[in-house]
C-alpha cells in the first residue's frame, strides 16, 4: 500500500510540474521569480563545486589530518604518562635514599681492604684535582 502511495505521489508531482511549465510558457510569466533565481544560482554553484572539486583527494587529506591529530594526542598522552611515572619514581627513590642513609654507619677503616682504600683515596684526589674553570671545554 505504501509503495502505491509513493508511486501515485511521484506521478502527481510530475504532472503538476508539467502543468506549471505549460502555464508559464503560455502566459509568459514565472511564479516566485526571486526564489527561483536564487535556487538557480545555488544549483549552478553546487554543480560547479561537484564538477571541479577532487573529492577523493579531499577525503584522503581529511583522513590523513585526522590520523595525524590522533597520533599527536597519543604521543602527548604517552609523554604525560611517562612524566607522571618519572615523578613518582623519583619520589620513591628519594624516600629510599633518605631512609637508608640515616641507618648507614660509615665503614670501619681497619676493616676496609687496602685495594678499596686505595681506590677511595684516588677518587678523592680526582675530585680535588678537577679544574674549576670549564670554559676551555666548550
Q: How far apart are CA 122 and CA 116, in angstroms?
A: 10
Question: pLDDT of 1-41, one tens digit each?
Answer: 999 999 999 999 999 999 999 999 999 988 888 999 999 99
Q: What's the average model confidence in pLDDT over 113-124? A: 85
Biggest distance spanned by C-alpha atoms of the chain: 125
pLDDT at residue 31, rounded to an integer: 86
Q: Which residues contact 30 (CB under 8 A, 6 or more apart)?
A: 24, 36
Which residue did the predictor score with more confidence, 137 or 40?
Answer: 40
Question: pLDDT of 66-116, one tens digit each?
Answer: 999 999 999 999 999 999 999 999 999 999 888 877 666 666 767 778 888
Question: pLDDT of 32-42, one tens digit each?
Answer: 889 999 999 99
pLDDT at residue 126, rounded to an integer: 82
Q: Taking a C-beta distance cutoff of 8 angstroms, is the pair 31, 24 a contact?
A: yes
Could you tell me the three cell numbers for 101? 642513609
pLDDT at residue 113, rounded to an integer: 83
Amino acid at each position: 500500500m505504501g509503495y502505491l502511495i509513493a508511486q501515485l505521489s511521484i506521478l502527481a508531482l510530475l504532472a503538476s510540474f508539467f502543468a506549471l511549465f505549460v502555464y508559464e510558457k503560455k502566459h509568459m510569466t514565472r511564479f516566485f521569480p526571486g526564489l527561483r533565481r536564487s535556487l538557480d544560482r545555488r544549483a549552478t554553484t553546487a554543480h560547479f563545486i561537484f564538477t571541479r572539486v577532487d573529492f577523493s583527494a579531499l577525503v584522503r587529506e581529511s583522513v590523513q589530518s585526522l590520523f595525524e591529530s590522533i597520533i599527536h594526542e597519543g604521543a602527548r598522552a604517552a609523554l604525560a604518562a611517562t612524566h607522571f611515572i618519572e615523578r613518582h619514581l623519583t619520589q620513591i627513590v628519594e624516600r629510599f635514599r633518605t631512609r637508608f642513609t640515616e641507618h648507614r654507619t660509615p665503614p670501619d677503616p681497619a676493616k676496609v681492604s687496602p685495594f678499596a682504600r686505595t681506590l677511595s683515596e684516588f677518587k678523592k684526589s680526582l675530585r680535588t684535582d678537577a679544574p674549576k674553570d670549564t670554559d676551555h671545554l666548550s
